[in-house]
Amino acid sequence: SLVPAVVSQLKIIIRANYSNPPRHGAAIASTILNDPQLFEEWKVELKGMSDRIIAMRVGLRKLLEQKGAPGDWSFITNQIGMFTYTGLNNDQVAEMTKNYHIYMPGTGRISIAGLTEPTLDQMATAIRSVL
What is the band of 16 on the pLDDT scale with cuts at 50, 70, 90?
confident
Does the pLDDT value for residue 73 go beyond 80?
Answer: yes
Name the pLDDT band for 61 (thresholds 50, 70, 90).
Answer: very high
Residue 1: pLDDT band with limits 50, 70, 90: confident
Residue 74 vs residues 15, 29, 43, 46, 102: alpha-carbon distances, Å = 42, 35, 28, 24, 22
Task: Tell me the helices (H) and strands (E) count for the chain, helix number first.
Answer: 6, 2
